[in-house]
Structure 1
Amino acid sequence: MTEQASSTVVRKKSELWGWIRFLLVLALVYLIVNNLTGLMRVSGQSMEPTLQHGDILLINKASLFVDKPKYGDVVVVEEESLGYKIVKRVIAVEGDTVAIVDGVTFVNGEQLVELYTYGKSEDMEELTVGAGQLFVVGDNRTLGESLDSRSPSLGPIAIGDVKGYVAASLWPMHGIAKPLDLN
């Protein structure tokens, strides 16, 4: 084999290994992005004014491995009976009591200070959130605008139905409002 032919074989092997490395890195990035993050488009007005119809959201799935959802988190829920995903805000966790009186939400007897909501909710008798469950609602509290835990057809959801946390809106770009910490 001549030196030129040998050089061509080495160059082709190097080029092949370059493509293989590129495809492996691409597959690894895809697996990470697909399993630890995600994208979702908002459909409907149930999270107005925080999120608008058509917003594209960045979803953080990785945090599910280290922490349970807590008060104020905006989560993506996939409830088997729904057949689709919904975006809602956690307002109570297991063991908490929730009631709505004259359109005002109370958790454990304390009024929630919610500057990110819109509309007036219908009243709801006090309910205790069961073990392994969350009470989630849309930021648009107007009657009929949000299918959430206030509805008897959905009620409190299982923590296992949470598929990720909304990290930010990518289009249009903005953060997600959190509740005021008055403690």
Structure 2
Amino acid sequence: MENTVLKEDNYDIKQTSKKSAILEWVKFGFFLLLIVFLIRHSIGITTVSGFSMQPTFHDGNVVFEEKVSKYFTSPELGDVVIINKREQGYKIIKRVLGVEGDTIEIKNGIVFVNQEAVPEVMTEGVSNDMATVIVPEDHIFVMGDNRAPGESIDSRDPSVGPMPLSSLDGYVLFSLNPLGSIPKPINLN
């Protein structure tokens, strides 16, 4: 009779042990999904496609993107951002040249923000002139560093215009391949 009791106790231990193991795997799976979610929505790695950001970035460069601060800070002049063009199904990398309320104008190939010439560090080509644009509320004015006509589809194009802040995917912090920092124009403020 003692053997029967032992067998039943042993069976209960095995059942509890199985339930405990399944519960641990469920916890681990949930934890893993949480980590993947946090990583996906806080950092990213993007490959540059095209020539619109030359000479800062070249076709095929790999950049590191940070996505968290977009919830706490606003873009500033010179930031390099990734814009999610959801309707078209792709993302673009551009430099912020104007924020809400700024006036942007291009005269003789020189970009003026609030009537001050932007002392740009790294650009290529000369842009066509552009009439004054006032950046609307909750928008940013972005341009590629390659200013030659036809090289960058950006806010200079009336069909694109200033981009809504809701399309901001994140900020490019640095280039991974090749490894390097991102030059910014001198702050005008």
1:45 aligns with 2:55: no
Question: What is the RMSD of the two structures over their aligned residues, measured on CA atoms?
Answer: 2.4
**How much has 1:58 moved relative to structure 2?**
1.5
Equivalent runs, 1:69-108 vs 2, <5 Å: 69-108=75-114
Equivalent runs, 1:22-61 vs 2, <5 Å: 22-61=28-67
Partner of 2:68: 62
* Structure 2 CA distance for partners of 1:68 and 1:182, relative to 1, 3 Å: closer
Amino acid at match of 2:178: P
- CA deviations on 1:113-145 (whole Å, 9 max, x unpaired) are 001111111111111111111110001101111
The whole-number CA distance in structure 2 between the counterparts of 1:175 and 1:16 is: 47
Gaps of 5+ in 1: none
The whole-number CA distance in structure 2 between the counterparts of 1:143 and 1:62 is: 33
Partner of 2:178: 172
**How much has 1:11 moved relative to structure 2?**
8.5
- CA deviations on 1:87-131 (whole Å, 9 max, x unpaired) are 100001111111111111111110000011111111111111111
* Structure 2 CA distance for partners of 1:161 and 1:137, relative to 1, 3 Å: same
**How much has 1:40 moved relative to structure 2?**
1.3
- CA deviations on 1:127-178 (whole Å, 9 max, x unpaired) are 1111111110001101111000001110111111111111122222212111
The whole-number CA distance in structure 2 between the counterparts of 1:140 and 1:87 is: 12
**How much has 1:81 moved relative to structure 2?**
4.6
Give me the identity figure in percent: 41
**Aligned to 1:136, what secondary structure does the other structure show?**
strand
* Structure 2 CA distance for partners of 1:38 and 1:10, relative to 1, 3 Å: same
Runs of 4+ in 1 over 6 A off after TM superposition: 5-18
2:98–2:113 CA contact under 8 A, matched in 1: yes
Gaps of 5+ in 2: 1-5
Paired residues, number: 183
Computing the radius of gyration over CA atoms, which structure comes out larger, 1 or 2? 2
